[in-house]
């Protein structure tokens, strides 16, 4: 009896053929790896499994459930046969078959992108068996705990924090402060991974990329790594700090350009000088100083990141946010430069974005906004020197960065003076 079968099914030939073809391609794509490894379930089995799911999806929900149930029976028979041959259970192949069957159902329902993405991911998981096993075997208990802790910070604590101020004056926004805590922890984790994978080359890459997000956070992390390795990362940390400073200037210029083109025009000279001098000093040092990668045979990295440091930095950010807001409220435009300097001590991006926003809304002149952005950028460069001097504990590195960042600071001030003298296009 065929009571469950619809009396008439309207399947457009071309669309139906496309769905079945996609299902077959998905099954063959995943089954290719199993065939290459000499498994009992290979190309044809995975192709049939995906087609079975597609037929179920075309016929409707009851038939889709029946198709998946039949695949379950097939998986049970496959494992029974493998156990009888004393070859162990085929758990990975069984899981791949079930996923392929569900993917076929999606194809039958008319999905395109999702089945293709699932097939590529499944094939990748099967193909990278040795690499994934090797990677997991090298993970230490501390690294695993740190990864879980980072996930808790980002996905468990952050979403439940209030988005609005929690005090009557509107000064303390917990979620904004917690973003910095997550950022510091994530930067430490990325630095740790890059150091393990690429050695000291990874530090310089992280220095630049981290500077695009928060140069102070990046410099703090680099200083901790210098201290942790007893100064063996001085050369690459120096270049990382200078590249982070260059990235900071580039990011601040981009923020001004996006939020207030007029403010960017009125700060283009000092920001350009900060950017070029930072890159130039990093490159000059790179030529004169041989790479220290060979001098660091092993790095005694105990933990991917320090939660204590992240929490302390978050508290500092919250303090400066409160002080900056109060100062701006009490002093008005006269205190704007002071607020910009305070903002640059923790995150020049926030100070620059604030200046650009005020300028775009007409609350601040483009010239004042441009100077404020320059002050915030120079304050960020100055605090980088203070952080390295206090955290790294290496006099040689402190002196080198003192000269380099001092040069950047002087050139930035000179650029700001020239900018105000020549006058902005939009005063």
Helix/strand/coil (H/E/C) assignment for every residue in 188-220: HHHHHHHHHHHCCHHHHHHHHHHHHHHHHHHHH
Confidence band of 305 (pLDDT split at 50, 70, 90): low
Taking the CB of residue 51, how many other CB atoms lie within 10 A of it? 21
| Residue 276: pLDDT over 90 | yes
Is residue 358 pLDDT above 60, yes or no? Answer: yes
Q: Which residue has the higher pLDDT, 163 or 54?
A: 54
Neighbours of 371 (CB within 10 A): 23
Q: Rounded to an integer, what distance in angstroms lies between the CA atom of residue 40 and that of residue 43?
A: 10
Given this model, what pLDDT does residue 258 score?
82
25 and 169 within one domain:
no
- Clarify whether residues 188 and 334 are in a common domain: yes
Overall average pLDDT of the 283-298 stretch:
48
Top-confidence residue, 103 or 372: 103
Last residue of a domain, one of 134, 164, 183: 134
> Is the same domain home to 35 and 166?
no
pLDDT at 290: 44
Are residue 19 and residue 153 in the same domain, yes or no? Answer: no
Predicted local distance difference test score (pLDDT) of residue 52 = 93
Evaluate whether residue 8 is within a structural domain.
Answer: no
Residues 258 and 370 in one domain: yes
- Which residues form the domain of 47? 13-134
Residue 166 is assigned to a structural domain of this protein: yes
Residue 296 in this model has a pLDDT that exceeds 60:
no
350 and 292 within one domain: yes
Is the pLDDT at 291 greater than 60? The verdict is no
Q: Domain check: are 314 and 351 in the same one? A: yes
In terms of pTM, does the model score above 0.85? no
Question: How many domains are there within the chain?
Answer: 2
Q: Is the pLDDT of residue 227 over 90?
A: no
In a domain, 3, yes or no: no
Higher pLDDT residue, 388 or 187?
388
Report the C-alpha gap between 305 and 299 in whole angstroms: 14
Q: How high does pLDDT run on average in the chain? A: 79
- CA atoms of 348 and 378, how far apart (whole Å): 9
User: Is there a contact between 179 and 159 (Cβ–Cβ < 8 Å)?
Assistant: no
Which tens digits make up the pLDDT trace of 193-212?
Answer: 766 666 556 667 777 777 77
For residues 261 and 274, give the distance between their C-alpha atoms in angstroms, rounded to a whole number.
19
Angstrom distance (rounded) from CA 285 to CA 396: 14
Query: Over 90: is that where the pLDDT of 299 sits?
Result: no
More confident residue, 172 or 78: 78
* Domain identity same for 48 and 150: no
pLDDT at 292: 43
Looking at the domain assignment, is residue 286 inside a domain? yes
What does the pLDDT read at residue 286? 45
pLDDT tens readout for residues 306-323: 677 667 766 765 665 566
Q: What share of the chain is helix, strand, coil (3-state, %, to 5)?
A: 80, 0, 20
First to last CA, the chain: 86
Q: Are residues 22 and 87 in the same domain?
A: yes
d(CA 275, CA 245): 7
Average pLDDT over residues 405-410: 92
pLDDT digits (tens, 9 = 90+) for 122-153: 988 888 887 777 767 777 777 788 888 888 88
Read off the pLDDT band of 293 (50, 70, 90): very low
Q: Answer yes or no: is pLDDT of 40 > 90.
A: no
Pick the residue with more confidence: 75 or 145? 75
Q: Is the pLDDT of residue 404 over 70?
A: yes
Report how far apart, in Å, the C-alpha atoms of 389 and of each of 73, 134, 160, 237, 243 are: 67, 39, 37, 13, 18
């Amino acid at each position: 009896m065929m009571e469950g079968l619809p009396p008439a099914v309207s399947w457009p030939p071309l669309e139906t053929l496309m769905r079945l073809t996609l299902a077959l391609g998905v099954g063959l794509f995943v089954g290719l790896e199993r065939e290459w490894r000499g498994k009992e379930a290979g190309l044809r089995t995975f192709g049939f499994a995906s087609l079975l799911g597609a037929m179920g999806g075309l016929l409707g929900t009851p038939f889709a459930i029946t198709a998946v149930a039949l695949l379950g029976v097939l998986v049970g028979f496959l494992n029974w046969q493998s156990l009888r041959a004393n070859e162990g259970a085929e758990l990975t192949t069984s899981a791949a078959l079930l996923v392929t069957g569900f993917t076929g159902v999606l194809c039958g329902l008319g999905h395109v992108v999702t089945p293709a993405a699932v097939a590529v991911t499944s094939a990748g998981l099967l193909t990278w068996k040795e690499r994934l096993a090797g990677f997991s075997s090298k993970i230490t208990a501390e690294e695993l705990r740190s990864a879980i802790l980072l996930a808790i910070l980002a996905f468990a604590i952050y979403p439940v924090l209030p988005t609005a101020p929690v005090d009557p004056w509107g000064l303390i926004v917990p979620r904004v402060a917690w973003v910095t805590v997550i950022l510091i922890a994530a930067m430490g984790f990325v630095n740790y991974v890059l150091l393990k994978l690429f050695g000291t080359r990874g530090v310089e890459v992280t220095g630049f990329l981290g500077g695009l997000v928060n140069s102070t956070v990046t410099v703090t992390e680099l200083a901790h790594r210098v201290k942790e390795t007893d100064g063996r990362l001085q050369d690459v940390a120096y270049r990382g700090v200078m590249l982070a400073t260059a990235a900071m200037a580039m990011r601040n210029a981009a923020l001004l350009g996006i939020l207030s083109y007029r403010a960017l025009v009125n700060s283009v000279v000092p920001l350009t000088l900060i950017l070029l001098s930072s890159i130039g000093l990093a490159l000059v040092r790179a030529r004169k100083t041989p790479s220290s990668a060979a001098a660091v045979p092993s790095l005694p990295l105990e933990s991917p990141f320090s939660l204590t440091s992240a929490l302390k930095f978050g508290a500092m950010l919250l303090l400066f946010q409160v002080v900056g807001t109060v100062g701006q409220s009490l002093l008005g435009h006269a205190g704007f430069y002071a607020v910009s300097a305070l903002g640059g001590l923790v995150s020049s991006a926030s100070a620059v974005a604030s200046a650009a926003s005020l300028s775009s809304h007409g609350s601040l002149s483009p010239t004042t906004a441009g100077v404020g952005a320059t002050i915030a950028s120079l304050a960020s460069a100055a605090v980088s020197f203070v952080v390295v001097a206090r955290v790294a504990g290496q006099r040689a590195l402190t002196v080198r960065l003192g000269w380099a960042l001092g040069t950047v600071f002087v050139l930035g001030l000179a650029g700001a003076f020239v900018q105000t003298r020549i006058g902005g296009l939009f005063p």
